[in-house]
């Protein structure tokens, strides 16, 4: 596995360094940033991925990331606007129809739909939970295609998403339960359901 990663890196070191930089920023944003800050940093991540794919001469993926930049900005600028959300859903469906190869190609479609829905309509903690499932879909997709670099990248994003969900849910529960001795298990379960 390490040899494969080394070979991939040496094929185009500059592009891979840009990709690693995007991954680091993505992990940082996932664990530490909230609300609009997270969304703005995700736009930055999309810009860096767009540069990465352009340097790799993978223009179809570069175009998708360019559309991601517009979509991510639109999700901030037009939050809760279902018409614009549906517009992006149709656009991504058309894109993935052209890129369809087998049944596993449906995973990016599912990931894109979850991503668009959660970014446009959901509040903070729900958005981050659904973001975890987006990363899971991409991880399975790259793993099936034996793309070690991308599977590894999404593995780190899965871990960072899980860390954030666990950390933030605990913070919310602790804020509600100031007196921990009186905060029984039923109260904790209620709060977990509330913030699902």
Residue 118 vs residues 39, 85, 89, 93: alpha-carbon distances, Å: 11, 10, 12, 16
pLDDT reported for residue 96? 86
Q: Flag whether pLDDT at 195 surpasses 60.
A: no
Are 46 and 68 in contact by the 8 Å Cβ rule? The answer is yes
DSSP at 105: G
**pLDDT-derived band of residue 188, with 50, 70 and 90 as boundaries?**
low
pLDDT reported for residue 153? 87
Look at the block and give the residue holding tokens 């790259």: 142
pLDDT (average), residues 161-183: 64
Are 44 and 83 in contact by the 8 Å Cβ rule? The answer is no
List pLDDT tens digits, range 9-19.
677 788 889 98
**pLDDT-derived band of residue 29, with 50, 70 and 90 as boundaries?**
confident
**pLDDT-derived band of residue 192, with 50, 70 and 90 as boundaries?**
low
Are 132 and 99 in contact by the 8 Å Cβ rule? The answer is no
Mean pLDDT estimate for the chain:
82
Give the residue with greater pLDDT, 75 vs 6. 75
The residues near 66 (Cβ < 8 Å, ≥ 6 apart) are 50
pTM > 0.75: yes or no: yes
List pLDDT tens digits, range 99-146.
888 888 889 889 999 999 988 888 777 787 888 899 999 999 988 987
CA distance 115 to 134: 6
Give the residue with greater pLDDT, 90 vs 126. 90
CA distance 25 to 37: 12
């Amino acid at each position: 596995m390490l040899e494969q990663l080394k070979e991939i890196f040496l094929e185009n070191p500059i592009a891979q360094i840009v990709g690693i930089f995007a991954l680091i920023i993505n992990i940082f944003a996932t664990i530490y940033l909230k609300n609009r800050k997270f969304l703005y940093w995700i736009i930055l991540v999309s810009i860096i991925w767009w540069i990465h794919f352009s340097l790799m001469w993978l223009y179809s993926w570069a175009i998708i990331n360019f559309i991601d930049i517009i979509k991510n900005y639109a999700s901030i600028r037009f939050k809760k606007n279902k018409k614009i959300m549906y517009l992006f859903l149709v656009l991504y469906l058309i894109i993935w129809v052209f890129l369809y190869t087998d049944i596993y190609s449906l995973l990016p479609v599912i990931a894109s739909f979850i991503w668009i829905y959660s970014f446009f309509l959901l509040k903070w903690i729900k958005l981050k939970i659904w973001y975890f499932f987006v990363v899971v879909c991409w991880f399975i997709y790259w793993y099936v295609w034996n793309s070690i670099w991308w599977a590894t990248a999404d593995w780190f994003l899965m871990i960072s998403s899980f860390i954030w969900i666990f950390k933030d849910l605990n913070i919310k529960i602790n804020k509600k339960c100031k007196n921990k001795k009186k905060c029984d298990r039923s109260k904790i379960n209620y709060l977990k359901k509330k913030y699902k």
